[in-house]
């Protein structure tokens, strides 16, 4: 006998009721604010850079005919903004401190008179009207620009902002382009030696080499002059004269033209490079060798030489370096010689 089907003891799943979601409440529309169309048009015309006032001849709008079309009340309110010279009843007067002044000439002017029609064609009035158009076109009359000006003025008063100095503004707006030598040219010019400058007469007998360098680690400024006594014809090495110790200037007899045999305590030094000359000068000056930072000696020496009639003019005068003039540093002269050769 076939087995009868068994009944399941499991409870049937409850039937899920379909739940219809409630409709979301639709927020009520906000009532738009009532905007005065006339006020909107007036705001656009007087503050927006795209206003028609920026593109028209302002004299077509502001003239004697349009003034006469205004109501007496409007004319009175606008007349209060005009200077006394805009009225027909204006009488010129001079100050009481003027010699020709009399009591009868001092008149207290009343602005309640009639506006002179020539005001609207006066060059000063037209210039002011055109300036208004320029400011309107530049967006300087808008509320946003007024807010920027207010914040700027507040910052200037409380110190949080600083107005740029007028010289700095001019230099910023009129900056001249600076041309720099290419690294290749600078490297090639560095191949020239001091003897090359002497061989090419860039350095001459009688030139003064003025040394100046500030040693920040020692807190001292070293200045010392040497004069080229002679240039060797074969090796083009330089023989220079200098004073001992920290003495900067050379004696007067060494500043005269022509060869001069040094006397005590003047010292002699023969060099072939600016670095060698700098090292010797610092030894004479007394700067400790262990406290000398690296530097470019070519930039520390300036060449002084007579030019034109300066020799005859300054020989009889007690002028420093005998009236010689600055010709530039060795670094500059080397670069110029490289470009010119």
HEC secondary structure over 22-67? CCCCCCCCCCCCCCCHHHHHHHHHHHCCCCHHHCCCHHHCCCHHHH
Task: Return the percentage of the chain with pLDDT > 90, whole number.
Answer: 48
Which pLDDT belongs to residue 84? 87
Q: Number of helices (H) and strands (E), helices first, in the chain?
A: 12, 6
Q: List pLDDT tens digits, range 96-118.
A: 777 776 654 444 455 557 899 99
Segments of 257-313 assigned E as strands = 267-271, 301-305
115 near 86, Cβ under 8 Å?
yes
Q: At residue 172, does pLDDT exceed 80?
A: no
Which pLDDT belongs to residue 306? 83
- Summarize the confidence of residues 176-200 as an average pLDDT: 73
Report residue 182's pLDDT band, with 50, 70 and 90 as the boundaries.
very low
Domain ranges of the chain: 37-78+112-164, 185-340
* Mean pLDDT, all residues of the chain: 82
């Amino acid at each position: 006998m076939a087995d009868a089907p068994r009944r399941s003891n499991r409870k049937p799943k409850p039937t899920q009721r379909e739940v219809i979601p409630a409709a979301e409440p639709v927020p009520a529309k906000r009532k738009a604010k009532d905007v005065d169309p006339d006020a909107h048009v007036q705001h656009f015309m007087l503050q927006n850079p795209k206003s028609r006032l920026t593109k028209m001849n302002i004299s077509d709008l502001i003239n004697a005919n349009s003034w006469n079309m205004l109501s007496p009340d409007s004319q009175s309110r606008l007349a209060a903004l005009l200077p006394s010279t805009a009225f027909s009843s204006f009488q010129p007067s001079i100050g009481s401190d003027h010699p020709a002044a009399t009591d009868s000439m001092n008149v207290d002017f009343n602005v309640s008179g009639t506006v002179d029609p020539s005001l609207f064609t006066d060059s000063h009035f037209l210039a002011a009207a055109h300036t208004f158009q320029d400011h309107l076109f530049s967006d300087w009359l808008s509320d946003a620009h007024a807010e920027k000006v207010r914040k700027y003025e507040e910052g200037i008063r409380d110190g949080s902002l600083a107005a740029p100095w007028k010289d700095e503004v001019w230099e910023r707006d009129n900056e001249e382009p600076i041309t720099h030598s290419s690294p290749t040219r600078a490297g090639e010019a560095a191949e020239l030696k001091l003897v090359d400058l002497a061989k090419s007469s860039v350095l001459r007998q009688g030139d003064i080499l003025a040394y100046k360098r500030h040693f920040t680690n020692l807190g001292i400024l070293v200045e010392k002059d040497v004069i080229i006594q002679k240039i060797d014809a074969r090796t083009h090495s330089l023989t220079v004269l200098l004073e001992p110790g920290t003495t900067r200037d050379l004696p007067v007899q060494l500043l005269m033209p022509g060869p001069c045999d040094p006397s005590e305590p003047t010292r002699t030094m023969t060099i072939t490079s600016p670095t060698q000359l700098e090292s010797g000068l610092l030894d004479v000056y007394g700067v400790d060798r262990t406290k000398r930072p690296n530097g470019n000696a070519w930039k520390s020496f300036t060449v002084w030489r007579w030019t034109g009639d300066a020799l005859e003019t300054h020989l009889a005068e007690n002028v420093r370096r005998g009236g010689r003039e600055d010709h530039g540093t060795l670094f500059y002269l080397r670069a110029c010689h490289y470009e010119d050769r």
